[in-house]
Amino acid sequence: MTQINTELEYNVATARIEELLKLVDNETSEENKYLIELNILSNVVADYEEKYFPMKAPTLIEMLKLRMFEMNLNQIKLSKLLGVSPSRISEYLTGKSEPTLKVARNIHNKLNIDAKIILGV
């Protein structure tokens, strides 16, 4: 099998991957037939998923919410961290406004959010 062409083939391949994952671990030899099969199937499935289930980049709103959760920040704490008002944070989180360049730099530096996500590129 060089590529997956149908959803049925995809489902069969992913089911086989689940079976193979039970047969190998980090200590499995590179020459092990199950590990070789797992690597081949994983690559074929990844190609299919990239074509039919592409991952879109997260939005700034999604990343801000994620960082707030990860860093245990509410809107008031985030506003203090970024040097803006809580109402401005609310506007960012609802998409009503976008950060200025200065705030974008702070978001990048203090929240470690990729500049491409901040700029929507």
pLDDT digits (tens, 9 = 90+) for 108-119: 999 999 999 998
111 Cβ neighbours under 8 A, 6+ residues apart: 63, 64, 67, 71, 81
Mean pLDDT of 56-78: 95
Query: What pLDDT score was predicted for residue 56?
Result: 87
Mean pLDDT of 35-49: 95
The pLDDT of residue 121 is above 90 = no
Query: What pLDDT score was predicted for residue 13?
Result: 96
Query: What pLDDT score was predicted for residue 57?
Result: 85
69-104, pLDDT tens digit by residue? 999 999 999 999 999 999 999 999 999 999 999 999
| Distance separating alpha carbons of residues 7 and 60, to the nearest angstrom | 33
- Please state, rounded to an integer, the average pLDDT across all residues of the chain: 94
Give domain 60-119's CATH number out of 3.40.50.1000, 3.40.50.800, 3.30.420.10, 1.10.260.40.
Answer: 1.10.260.40
For the chain, what are the domain ranges? 7-52, 60-119
Task: Specify the pTM.
Answer: 0.63
| Distance separating alpha carbons of residues 49 and 22, to the nearest angstrom | 22
The pLDDT of residue 49 is above 70 = yes
Residue 45 Ramachandran class (φ > 0 left, ψ -120 to 50 alpha, else beta): alpha
